[in-house]
Structure 1
């Protein structure tokens, strides 16, 4: 059986007395669109930082594309093909959309002309073609989210880690962004997304891991994890699953 594109084995990280991530193991197969979900403070973004090299684990290993990359610097992981986005987007405000995206393209491309051409193709892919010469500072929240996605995509990743790319968007903007994410996965990029918008998780993800208080508590299809008692209680509180079942039986 072929090795997964990304494998975490026993990853843990504490900050002082707080165990932010505890003994997490998972494997992301190449070509899949997967999601990591969990309540606020579950440790999801910390886990992304441990995967991508922005933080070093206290214990455990990270393997990507057949290599042990535990604690390796983010820029080296990006060169290998792992790129992430961030919840709080920070574009180069005084530069155009085209110039912002070209920054990502320069990871593999020295030529300015080729990087700018690559930026144009990526802008088309994420729905920013009409705004490509607009200053990043003039974009809406939805536009900035697309730009963050485009800058990461321009690095030509094999694995794209999306950290709440739909956060802050209204329902129409979410509906418009979902086909963009699906299209990226269809192009051959493996996607692992942190997401709170369950509508998107249900419609996009093939496989879901659920993190609560730093531990993985469930995994499976979106339908399987959202019907799991542990998951229901992690989001809604202890005893909720039993109360919901009792209410359903009484109805």
Structure 2
């Protein structure tokens, strides 16, 4: 469904993405993970048209997205959420979601009805008439998800939709995301909550310093020495292996 080919982007002397290539299969939940500053959100920005790559290509359902405006890419079926959620504070939950629904529905009534249906899907049904500004962090995250979902995406890019949530809130949103996939939406997510990545993802790619360093199932990448080094620092993989060996000797 989504093909990323040799994607590169620089900001001055900083290499944000460096020759990144991967393919997202239709119907999957995939994860793009890595330390802070690895370039993950920059890749989302290039896919969704907010940043133009210096080189490489982004193809969705066989069509290149290069040069298309974000709203055109959204019309084609690629929608993203943002790390920093910014609801329309002067509107209630229903009206916020309806903004996304208007992408394919010109009439206000149809947009509001669709917004209500989406709110129930993400667990915001009881808060439809609540001012968006009065939502908790967890509520705002669900609203960000609902606004994106209201555009009827084929591919949904979720940028740290679980950041700032406590463990019980994470447990509550995981089945919501799984249900979105079951409804036919392909999902690519950026996430630091590894429990969620392990539970949700069919496949994951690990980015560090703008380059892909590992790819595989979540269990495969969790034991990859390069991934351990990227997250925990130089020598971490060797230390962890030494602890395992020591534990095995005393068992």
- TM bin (shorter chain): over 0.9
Tell me by how many angstroms 1:119 deviates: 0.3
Secondary structure of 2:74's aligned partner: helix
Match of 1:67 among 63, 66, 83: 63
How many residue pairs are counted as aligned between the two chains? 247
- Structure 2 distance, partners of 1:231, 1:88, is 26
Superposed CA offset, 1:61-108 (max 9, x none): 010122111132110000000000000000001101000000000001
Secondary structure of 2:6's aligned partner: strand
- Structure 2 distance, partners of 1:33, 1:26, is 14
Secondary structure of 1:26's aligned partner: strand
Whether the 8 Å contact between 1:55 and 1:71 is mirrored in structure 2 is: no
- TM-score calculated relative to the size of structure 1: 0.97
2:169 aligns to what?
173
Cα distance change, pair 111–61 in 1 and its aligned pair in 2 (3 A): same
2:111 aligns to what?
115
- Structure 2 distance, partners of 1:51, 1:203, is 25
Superposed CA offset, 1:154-210 (max 9, x none): 000000000000001111111111111111111100000000000000000010000
Secondary structure of 2:184's aligned partner: coil
- TM-score calculated relative to the size of structure 2: 0.97
Q: Does 1:53 align with 2:64?
A: no
Whether the 8 Å contact between 1:21 and 1:213 is mirrored in structure 2 is: yes
Whether the 8 Å contact between 1:50 and 1:56 is mirrored in structure 2 is: yes
Superposed CA offset, 1:118-145 (max 9, x none): 0010000000000001010111010000
2:81 aligns to what?
85
- Structure 1 distance, partners of 2:230, 2:166, is 25
Q: CA RMSD in A?
A: 0.6
Q: Does 1:38 align with 2:40?
A: no
1:116-135 correspondence to structure 2 within 5 Å: 116-135=112-131
2:200 aligns to what?
204
- Structure 2 distance, partners of 1:163, 1:232, is 22
